[in-house]
Chain A
């Protein structure tokens, strides 16, 4: 549930409850006051009767009145309890029963005691209370409508900075190196949060750049010691009395150093692609370049008994030349390394894209992980960065890279245009 709805619900329920309670209190209070007023009227009437009896020694004459009736009853010597009671009042005019209020009292005329019943119609009081009730109800409805409107219009406006900030946080991407923009809300809480989020995003971006710079520098700095290592090994190999065992060790070292170099270079290239440091791009026809690459790889494929099938049509792509070479190298080396002896590589190139299919393991690879850095199958002796580079290059130029496995072919497709 959204904060706004939650708040609305709570505040509405509370408001209704309070208004209803207030209505009751109002009703009872007014009802009590009005009844007291009626009682006062009745007492005035009673006093008038007492005065009349004292003065004249007889009961007063009873006149017909619209809202007051007085009745005298002869009674015996039993005591009459003076009290106010709620009764019915017969309205002669309207010929109907109405709510009424009576005062029961007694008076003695000479030796004869009389019971006095003074009744007054309460219809006006009831009307008043009804009006008050409807007014209260009206206020409740008005308040509800008003609250909803306020929430819809005002609250939404109030929360606007929050939502725009949320949007920015959602779109925040370290690789873009775009810090979250500060915004100026006139609400302190939002300003506080925005300030912190902006500062945090700046800090994170800064750390990320520093970290990447460090990786790049580290890779650079590693190159010189590796170069020394490599050159010493080259000289060691020139020794005249090297045993077979020593030469095996040297061969192994060459392999390890070569791998280290490739790893380092791939990391540097990745860093440069991510930092958008490969800006030079040209519109070029790539089928010829691919044909050349294929003939270069021909010997390598042949040594493993891998048959290449190529269907190359002209294709124009706008990209960096070095990255194109790298793309081909990685795809072709990949198709070779994960192939089996006597396998097959099919290369399809047309104006829309390139498809590279190769035989290999009989299981589908997990598309989610194969493009991740340093992911490689247990038997692979590559750097684990080849497909990552392919992916990064495709991402850089907005090419669609996908993988699927069908008919025992592992198939990598790059769509140059959407």
Chain B
């Protein structure tokens, strides 16, 4: 994680820690450059505007040295130029500040999955098995008929398993953050309810817990 804002750095480290993840953080260009040339990472979260340099130069350095690390750019700027530059230079994804940690986690998870390509392209959570290539979900070998939104929702939950995800984060993930949906998230409820019902109908357990109306948590505990 290369980020000069201490508040954000700590939050991300805290959110990503646990679950067998190792999250290292650096705050400036110089130490970032040092680190990426010594260690290899599954994914590097890269802030473009650093006090002593540009994140894009770090990206360039990675690509020149043929390092295979996944790169997710985070930037306060939503300008198309930055986005295109970043992606053209080989970044895997681009996220605009501010973002929900759950969104960051989902994006990072997706990059890591793609990078650690093991041929099967499947995600497994207890009895739930997701074929990412076919976009197919199976519970106890029974194929679930999920809508696009329900499928995206399930992947989002699994990427953030055991975390409380706010309704805002879910809505923004499913509908994009530019849609001004107001503070009424009743419409989310039916999507959650349908997903839960479909999993349970196929014999799966109820993994979706409501967190005091604040959000939802997908957990097998």
* Residue in contact with B5 in the complex, picked from A228, A278, A383, CB distance below 8 Å: A228
Which residues of B sit under 8 angstroms from A299, Cβ to Cβ?
Answer: 149, 187, 190-191
Contact yes or no, A231 B191, CB < 8 A: no
The closest CB in chain A to the CB of B190 belongs to A303
Contact yes or no, B183 A247, CB < 8 A: no
Contact yes or no, A242 B212, CB < 8 A: yes
With contact pairs A265-B177, A299-B191 given, residues A230 and B76 touching in the complex (Cβ less than 8 Å): no
- How near does chain B come to A384, taking the closest CB pair, in angstroms? 10
Contact yes or no, A381 B212, CB < 8 A: no
Taking the complex as formed, is B175 at the interface, i.e. its CB lies under 8 A from any CB of chain A?
yes
Taking the complex as formed, is B77 at the interface, i.e. its CB lies under 8 A from any CB of chain A?
yes
Contact segment of B51-59, B96-104, B129-137, B199-207: B96-104
**Which residue among B77, B180, B211, B212 has the maximum number of chain A CB atoms within 10 Å of its CB?**
B180
Which residues of B sit under 8 angstroms from A251, Cβ to Cβ?
Answer: 166-167, 213-214
* Residue in contact with A228 in the complex, picked from B8, B168, B186, CB distance below 8 Å: B8
- How near does chain B come to A267, taking the closest CB pair, in angstroms? 11
Interface of B is mostly: mixed
Contact yes or no, B97 A337, CB < 8 A: no
Contact yes or no, A223 B177, CB < 8 A: no
Interface of A is mostly: helix
Per-residue interface assignment for chain B, residues 177 to 188, with 1 indicating a CB less than 8 Å from any chain A CB and 0 otherwise: 111111100110
With contact pairs A237-B164, A238-B163, A251-B213 given, residues A265 and B183 touching in the complex (Cβ less than 8 Å): no
Which residues of A sit under 8 angstroms from B181, Cβ to Cβ?
Answer: 300, 333
Taking the complex as formed, is B11 at the interface, i.e. its CB lies under 8 A from any CB of chain A?
yes
Contact yes or no, B182 A227, CB < 8 A: no
Contact yes or no, A300 B14, CB < 8 A: no
Taking the complex as formed, is B12 at the interface, i.e. its CB lies under 8 A from any CB of chain A?
yes
- How near does chain B come to A83, taking the closest CB pair, in angstroms? 109
* Residue in contact with A333 in the complex, picked from B5, B164, B180, B186, CB distance below 8 Å: B180
Taking the complex as formed, is A244 at the interface, i.e. its CB lies under 8 A from any CB of chain B?
yes
Contact segment of A30-38, A108-116, A206-214, A255-263: A255-263
Q: Which of A327-356 contact B (CB under 8 A)?
A: 329-330, 333, 337
**Which residue among A232, A237, A265, A268 has the maximum number of chain B CB atoms within 10 Å of its CB?**
A237
Taking the complex as formed, is B7 at the interface, i.e. its CB lies under 8 A from any CB of chain A?
yes
Size band of the A side of the interface? 35 or more
A161 to B21, CA, bound (A): 75
With contact pairs A224-B97, A227-B5, A265-B178 given, residues A302 and B76 touching in the complex (Cβ less than 8 Å): no
Taking the complex as formed, is A13 at the interface, i.e. its CB lies under 8 A from any CB of chain B?
no
A224 to B12, CA, bound (A): 14
Which residues of A sit under 8 angstroms from B101, Cβ to Cβ?
Answer: 230-231, 234-235
Taking the complex as formed, is B125 at the interface, i.e. its CB lies under 8 A from any CB of chain A?
no
Contact yes or no, A247 B212, CB < 8 A: yes
Contact yes or no, B187 A258, CB < 8 A: no
Which residues of B sit under 8 angstroms from A296, Cβ to Cβ?
Answer: 175
Contact yes or no, B169 A257, CB < 8 A: no
Per-residue interface assignment for chain A, residues 233 to 254, with 1 indicating a CB less than 8 Å from any chain B CB and 0 otherwise: 1110110001010011011001
Taking the complex as formed, is A382 at the interface, i.e. its CB lies under 8 A from any CB of chain B?
yes
Contact yes or no, A234 B178, CB < 8 A: no
- How near does chain B come to A360, taking the closest CB pair, in angstroms? 15
Q: Which of A17-50 contact B (CB under 8 A)?
A: none
* Residue in contact with B80 in the complex, picked from A233, A302, A322, CB distance below 8 Å: A322
Q: Which 8 A-B pairs have the closest CB atoms?
A: A303-B187, A231-B11, A247-B212, A227-B98, A228-B7, A234-B101, A223-B76, A227-B97
Given contacts A258-B172, A303-B187, 20 further A-B pairs with CB under 8 A are A223-B97, A224-B5, A227-B5, A227-B98, A231-B7, A231-B11, A231-B98, A232-B7, A233-B166, A234-B166, A235-B15, A237-B166, A238-B164, A244-B212, A251-B167, A299-B187, A303-B186, A325-B178, A326-B178, A333-B181
